[in-house]
Amino acid sequence: MAERAARGRVSKPGPALQHGKYLFIVVFLVFPVGIYGLFTVSPYLQAIFISLTDWTGLTASQKFVGLDNYVRLFNDDQFLVALRNNAILLVIVPAVTVLLGLFFASMLNIGKRGRSGVEGVRGSSIYKIVYFFPQVLSVAIVGVLFKYVFAPTQAGGILNSFLRGIGLGSLTKSWLGEPDFALWCVVVVMIWFFVGFYVVLFSAAMQSIPKEIYEAALLDGATRYTTFLRVTLPLVWDTVQVGWVYMAIQAMDAFALVHVMLGISGGPAQAGDVMGLSMYRSAFNDYRFGYASAIGVVLLILTLLVALVFLRLARRERVEFS
């Protein structure tokens, strides 16, 4: 007993050692935290301050106007159009992209039962490369390519030429030139562009699931649909959750693709405008940096809220396998 008590007294660190440990941690954290604060936190704080001024971006003087930019913002009909378009992108693009990614990944990894157990469909390795190929291209290149795809026939439009070639000329439209279709063209391109990334992401998650689990489910008579819902989805849910949040952030931005495909105005009658493009136009076209900063702050707050709300709603008990 005395021996055990002595060992306990010796192993307990004293105040000096505890102080040295905390000092060691602080010394190693000061530099990275300082860098993070300088290059990440500081720009956010500057943007918030600028949003409270009428700065044009061309002068050194900045007049403090308080919340006037925010009041003007929510009375601006064009900003409300951009906000509505971002909401459409936020609802449709992540849902369709993630669902397609899960479907294609399941087909490529557990699509059939072969001689060696559960495996992907024939040619799955080639399909993965094909699906991932759009990620090799930059957003600017994708935007330019699809401008030609959705252009009118007389401007070399690939889609309209194809429709005419198969006898469906009545379906041709001036896709990017019509307010009712401009934003939906962007939706299609965003889904096409990102779905390959999620196929590869979900494939990596599914490949970590032991094949014996699927074999047991098949022996118990589970259908593919039941196996996907009760086995695959719970085991890859953490990956799905992260992927959905990332896709939601991409949908809240959408600046680069809309800018390339629809121009700085956001398409015909500015019907395809989004908040990122509205911010860019206010700053570099209208030289209203204070107003543009207010749009950026609203975009930041909405993006954080979307991420927090989804993480809260999608939280569930972690399912693990051994």
Among 3.30.70.1560, 3.20.20.60, 1.10.3720.10, 1.10.730.10, what is the CATH number of 78-313? 1.10.3720.10
pTM attached to this predicted model: 0.84
In this prediction, residue 312 carries a pLDDT of 83
| Cβ neighbours of 65 (radius 10 Å) | 17
In this prediction, residue 100 carries a pLDDT of 94
Q: What is the pLDDT of residues 56-114, one digit of tens each?
A: 888 888 899 989 999 999 999 999 999 999 999 999 999 999 999 999 998 888 766 66
* pLDDT bucket at 142, cuts 50 / 70 / 90: very high
Pick the residue with more confidence: 191 or 11?
Answer: 191
| Cβ neighbours of 22 (radius 10 Å) | 9
Residue 293 has pLDDT above 90, yes or no: yes
* Calpha distance 109→124 (Å, rounded): 8
3-state secondary structure of 100: helix
In this prediction, residue 213 carries a pLDDT of 85
In this prediction, residue 207 carries a pLDDT of 86
Residue 197 has pLDDT above 60, yes or no: yes
Q: In 3-state terms, the chain is what percent helix, strand and coil (to 5)?
A: 75, 0, 25
Residue 298 has pLDDT above 90, yes or no: yes
* pLDDT bucket at 150, cuts 50 / 70 / 90: very high
Lowest model confidence (mean pLDDT) among 11-25, 167-181, 244-258: 11-25
**Strands, E assignment, the chain:** 112-114, 117-119
* Calpha distance 195→98 (Å, rounded): 7
> CB of 51 within 8 A of CB of 290?
yes
Please state the rounded mean pLDDT for residues 210-216: 82
Please state the rounded mean pLDDT for residues 294-321: 82
Residue 117 has pLDDT above 80, yes or no: no
3-state secondary structure of 88: helix
In this prediction, residue 132 carries a pLDDT of 86
Please state the rounded mean pLDDT for residues 189-201: 93
- Which tokens in the block code for residue 167? 């006898």
If 0-12 CB within 10 Å is exposed, 13-18 middle and 19+ buried, where does residue 58 land?
Answer: exposed
The dihedral built from the CA positions of residue 251, 256, 262 and 264, taken in this order, carries a sign that is: positive
Domain segments of the chain as ranges: 78-313
In this prediction, residue 216 carries a pLDDT of 83
Lowest model confidence (mean pLDDT) among 75-79, 96-100, 122-126, 244-248: 122-126
Lowest model confidence (mean pLDDT) among 49-58, 192-201, 221-230: 221-230
* Calpha distance 149→164 (Å, rounded): 14
- Which tokens in the block code for residue 198? 């999620």
Residue 226 has pLDDT above 70, yes or no: yes
In this prediction, residue 58 carries a pLDDT of 85
Percent of the chain with pLDDT over 90: 43
Average pLDDT value over all residues in the chain: 85
- Which tokens in the block code for residue 119? 């495996």
- Which tokens in the block code for residue 129? 């490369």
3-state secondary structure of 53: strand
* pLDDT bucket at 155, cuts 50 / 70 / 90: low
In this prediction, residue 104 carries a pLDDT of 92
